[in-house]
């Protein structure tokens, strides 16, 4: 039995259970889900390719989905990896549904069971040009973990690092936006070391305090120790975007004075990071 870590909880998961994690995103119009986007994962057979897996999916859906109709099955790419897009419709409780499912193989560590990631867009009745474009943008923005990627490597942030810093206090749900990391060093470090205080960089990625031996650097504690901020693994420390539901107040910068404003800012930053060209 192993501990399975989620963003907001963990459970002891027996070994025979398989991870079928799904992420669900919806857009409502007039109280109806106009567009739904789901990211799901499933184990593949050792001999599977993306093509054979997609054909198996089609065969399975023919058997299980009422009035299933395959409209198209085409090749495409996701983050330069070979993928298959399945375009189909079916009927759920009398309602026609149109779905597009793009399947790509997850590039896990060598020797692990291959996994498929599916990006599934759903519209009642059919895809409008608006939602067809939105689906293509979402799939096109996907970045896949690369095969052989090593474990997360934390790095120390310089005291004069540029960019906003977000400080979340779980006790009262307050979120404070600080213009620069160095400005934090003027506050009481005892408050910052409270385990119910979380920090995030300008992209909403988690950061945390660790002791440093660098003389004159960082945040001084009354006991003589000094601390610097380090990046934290998002796999075990949720990003700010995943914790905004717990925020009750926002302060620090007038342009970011509400949860919705912070949510929009983080979404814009995320798009900017995804579309930023790699430095050669």
- Whether 136 and 250 map to the same domain: the answer is no
- Whether 95 and 27 map to the same domain: the answer is yes
Can you give the pTM of this predicted structure? 0.50
- Whether 40 and 77 map to the same domain: the answer is yes
pLDDT in tens, 30-83: 667 788 998 888 888 878 888 889 999 999 999 999 999 999 999 888 888 889
Strand partners, 97: 90, 124
Decide if 159 is inside a domain.
Answer: no
Q: What is the per-residue DSSP string for 58-102?
A: HHHHHHHSTT-EEEEEEEEEETTEEEEEEEEEEEETTEEEEEEEE
- pLDDT at position 103 is 95
- Whether 92 and 211 map to the same domain: the answer is no
Residue 198 pLDDT level (bands cut at 50, 70, 90): very high
Residue 17, C-beta contacts closer than 8 angstroms, at least 6 positions apart: none
Decide if 79 is inside a domain.
Answer: yes
Decide if 267 is inside a domain.
Answer: yes
pLDDT in tens, 115-174: 899 999 999 988 999 999 999 999 998 888 765 555 678 888 888 888 899 999 999 999
- Whether 126 and 178 map to the same domain: the answer is no
Decide if 148 is inside a domain.
Answer: no
- Whether 62 and 132 map to the same domain: the answer is yes
In angstroms, rounded to a whole number, what is the distance separating the alpha carbons of residues 22 and 94?
25
- Whether 105 and 12 map to the same domain: the answer is yes
Decide if 268 is inside a domain.
Answer: yes
Decide if 126 is inside a domain.
Answer: yes
Decide if 151 is inside a domain.
Answer: no
In angstroms, rounded to a whole number, what is the distance separating the alpha carbons of residues 225 and 213?
8
Domain boundary, last residue among 83, 105, 140? 140
* DSSP alpha helix (H) spans, 107-219: 129-140, 189-192
pLDDT in tens, 209-233: 888 876 666 787 877 788 889 999 8
- Whether 125 and 206 map to the same domain: the answer is no
Res 7 pLDDT > 80: no
- pLDDT at position 266 is 86
Nearest to 19 by CA among 39, 38, 37, 4: 4
Residues 6-30, mean pLDDT to the nearest whole number = 62
- Whether 125 and 251 map to the same domain: the answer is no
- Whether 184 and 265 map to the same domain: the answer is yes
- Whether 26 and 84 map to the same domain: the answer is yes
Decide if 147 is inside a domain.
Answer: no
- Whether 16 and 121 map to the same domain: the answer is yes
Which residues form the domain of 233? 165-275
Domains in the chain: how many in total? 2
Lowest mean pLDDT among 19-23, 68-72, 107-111, 245-249: 107-111
Percent of the chain at pLDDT above 70? 81
- pLDDT at position 215 is 66
Provide the CATH number for the domain around residue 105: 3.40.1000.10
Tokens of 54: 């997609």
- pLDDT at position 100 is 95
How are strands ordered across the β-sheet holding 81-92?
22-29, 32-43, 115-124, 95-106, 81-92, 69-78
């Amino acid at each position: 039995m192993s501990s399975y870590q989620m963003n907001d909880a963990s459970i002891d998961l027996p070994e025979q259970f398989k991870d079928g994690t799904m992420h669900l995103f919806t857009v409502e119009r007039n109280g109806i889900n106009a567009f739904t986007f789901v990211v799901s994962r499933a184990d593949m057979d050792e001999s599977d390719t993306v093509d054979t897996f997609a054909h198996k999916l089609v065969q399975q859906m023919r058997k299980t989905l009422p009035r299933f109709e395959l409209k198209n099955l085409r090749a495409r790419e996701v983050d330069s990896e070979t993928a298959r897009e399945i375009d189909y419709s079916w009927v759920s409780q009398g309602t026609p549904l149109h779905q597009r499912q793009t399947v790509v193989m997850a590039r896990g560590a060598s020797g692990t069971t291959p996994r498929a990631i599916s990006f599934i867009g759903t519209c009642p009745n059919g895809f409008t040009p608006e939602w067809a474009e939105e689906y293509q943008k979402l799939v096109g923005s996907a970045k896949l973990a690369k095969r052989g990627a090593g474990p997360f490597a934390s790095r120390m942030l310089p005291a004069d690092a540029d960019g906003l810093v977000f400080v979340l206090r779980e006790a009262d749900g307050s979120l404070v936006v600080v213009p620069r990391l160095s400005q934090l060093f003027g506050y009481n470090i005892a408050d910052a070391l409270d385990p119910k205080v979380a920090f995030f960089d300008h992209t909403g990625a988690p950061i945390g305090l660790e002791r440093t031996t660098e003389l004159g650097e960082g945040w001084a504690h009354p006991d003589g120790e000094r601390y610097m901020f380090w990046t934290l693994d998002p796999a075990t420390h949720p990003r700010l975007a995943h914790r905004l539901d717990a925020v009750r107040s926002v302060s620090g910068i007038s342009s970011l004075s509400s949860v919705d404003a912070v949510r929009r800012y983080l979404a814009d930053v995320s798009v900017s990071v995804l579309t930023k060209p790699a430095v050669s």
